[in-house]
Structure 1
Amino acid sequence: MLIIKKYAAIDIGSNAMRLLIANIVEEEGKATQFSKSSLVRVPIRLGQDAFTVGEITNENIERMIDAMKAFKLLMKVHRVEKYMAFATSAMREAYNGKEVAELIKKKADIKIEIIDGKKEAAIIASTDLKFLLKTEETYLYVDVGGGSTEFSLFDNGKMIVSKSFKVGTVRLLNGMVHDVVWLEIEKWIKTNTREYDQVTLIGSGGNINKLFKMSGKQQEKPLSYMYINAQYTTLNSLTYEQRISDLGLNADRADVIIPAVKIYLNAMKWSGARNIYVPKIGLSDGIIKAMYYGKI
């Protein structure tokens, strides 16, 4: 007997908000299948508010309410039976973040949970990451967001250590990441990876996904450090307008992609990684799976 369920995940990030609607297919004697039914991304850059003035502005509050009302209607049309909405660093750091979440609950009837970096990393780990890990190898998982980056080290298929740092694309664009933060990240990566002979990166986030798509590679193939470095040089040589017109980047991607690539490059350099794998996983996928398996 075949049973199909529909779950949804809302990810309220620092650079954009996403609604993922997934089909969950259960069949006796077979592993549960998860597939994307719909993905909607709204480029509301909350981090620009939260990290510079410390609050979500009235304009963006109204945009958030409109987006959430639309998400609510889309979930209704898709007949979603269960959903969860999580907000990360921008909402966490805005002094009116909780107030905004309460207003959205009142206006759009969507409950938002504001989570910390540790929980964010744990939810992402609920994805198929464990199936991607070859137990005899060591991986540094790097998830780059607008406000923070989560680093998790895996060895023999198990998470060894994880840490969230306040370095993200929107913060970097606004010159809000001091050298001491980079030094802390360098020290953390080198200290935790030095005992391993070889480390491979796993990258997640919209920017590394876009870079991977531009490479034209098959999903199971990694990107090399040399390729990432060459792309970083190319992106830096182009103006913001050229990145949009020549490379076809979205307006809200054409600026943040450069600081994102810088984070991945530094992580590769400091861990000694020569390659980075880019599976299609992220917070939204983690929310769906964590809900289904009762982890949240």
Structure 2
Amino acid sequence: MTKRVAVMDLGTNTFHLLIAEGDINNYREIVHITEAVKIGEGGINKGYIVPEAFQRGVNTMQRFHELIEANHVTDVRAIATSALRSASNGKDFIKEVESKTGIAIEIIDGEQEAGFIYNGVKLSGCLSAKNSLIMDIGGGSVEFILGNTDKILWKQSFEVGAARLMDQFHHTDPIPPASIEALNLYLQDKLGDLFIATSGIEIGTLVGSSGSFETFAGLIETEKAKSFDLKNIKHYDFEEDELLTITNKLIFSSHKERAGNPGIIPIRVDMIVAASLVTRFIMHALDIHNVSLCTNSLKEGVLAEMLTIAN
């Protein structure tokens, strides 16, 4: 009998639940939902989960637990990343969730997070024999993985996620040029290890793992009046000019313009500005012209491990 597994990715902005069954190369999704918990809201750079966010997180985990029970799941993993990793009351949150649901949350470090993201991206078939730089822009951290279909050459997590950058630099809207300059200087300073790791290495493609890159792709295709359904794709290649144009528009847009755009989900309305700036910064700093989206990320990497063990 095929085992049915559940994986939860508990991020700074969103909590994801994926329930699936089958084998690693041919699994069927039974439940795949994303909740805008915003556990980092109000406290991301203070290292503390504020009470309202704490309660939203607990409530979401209770809903996830109900879905897991209803779908007769046999194996469960809940993976927590940057916000819970750095919060002084993160352990309190984990205790409360376990007491109310029985779900034991695992806090993983940035290296493990990057490894799971690589496995998720690899599973989708987005990588080739040429070296790619995978970038996963989360709310709390950004993971970079340099590698190809065969192996990881280097990986590291940096605490420069979109929620942290927004909290630090994006106080007025549209974001002023001085704030953009300050953010770019901050990234230049914080990402030194990335520049050392990629020095002298030819990078064929920047692979954006899900999240904001899905928004970029959706907006580009909608502007062309094309129907675009993320559920039907694993991979999307950007035209460089189109990507730079859409990120430029987002950076200089107002909150009202972004909130009124049906192509931007509410959780990304403000963070998409910081995500756009990070994307452009990396493209320019590393002179990368080929960019693609991979809809797989951390949760699919965890799923790959669970299904391999389960079967």
- TM-score normalised to structure 2 length: 0.84
1:207 aligns with 2:212: yes
Instruction: Give the % identical residues.
Output: 26
Question: Residue type of the partner of 2:220?
Answer: S
- Report Cα offsets for 1:11-67 as digits up to 9, x if no partner: 111111111112224xxxxx7412322212111111224424432122222222211
Query: What is the aligned partner in structure 2 of residue 28 from structure 1?
Result: none
For residue 126 of structure 1, give the secondary structure of its aligned residue in structure 2: helix
For residue 277 of structure 1, give the secondary structure of its aligned residue in structure 2: strand
Query: What is the aligned partner in structure 2 of residue 132 from structure 1?
Result: 126
Question: Residue type of the partner of 2:187?
Answer: W
CA RMSD of aligned residues (A): 2.3
- Cα contact 1:125–1:286 (8 A) shared by 2: yes
Name the CA distance, whole Å, in 1 between partners of 2:84 and 2:190.
23
Stretch moving more, 252-261 or 242-251: 242-251
* Map 1:273-292 → 2, pairs under 5 A: 273-292=288-307
Stretch moving more, 205-214 or 105-114: 205-214
Specify which of 46, 51, 63 is matched with residue 56 of structure 2: 63
Per the alignment, do residues 274 and 245 of structure 1 end up closer, same or farther by CA in structure 2, a change over 3 Å counting? same
Per the alignment, do residues 224 and 266 of structure 1 end up closer, same or farther by CA in structure 2, a change over 3 Å counting? farther
Deviation at 1:250, TM superposition (A): 2.4
Any gaps of 5 or more consecutive residues in structure 1?
26-30
Specify which of 182, 190, 204 is matched with residue 195 of structure 2: 190
Query: What is the aligned partner in structure 2 of residue 163 from structure 1?
Result: 156
* Map 1:88-237 → 2, pairs under 5 A: 88-129=81-122, 131-135=125-129, 137-155=130-148, 157-175=150-168, 181-216=186-221, 220-237=235-252
Any gaps of 5 or more consecutive residues in structure 2?
170-181, 222-227
Specify which of 245, 258, 280 is matched with residue 273 of structure 2: 258
Specify which of 3, 13, 16 is matched with residue 14 of structure 2: 16
Name the CA distance, whole Å, in 2 between partners of 1:164 and 1:182.
13
Deviation at 1:229, TM superposition (A): 1.4
Between the two proteins, the alignment pairs up a number of residues equal to 287
Name the CA distance, whole Å, in 2 between partners of 1:107 and 1:220.
38
Query: What is the aligned partner in structure 1 of residue 2 from structure 2?
Result: 4
Deviation at 1:174, TM superposition (A): 0.5
Deviation at 1:186, TM superposition (A): 5.0
Query: What is the aligned partner in structure 1 of residue 283 from structure 2?
Result: 268
Question: Residue type of the partner of 2:277?
Answer: K
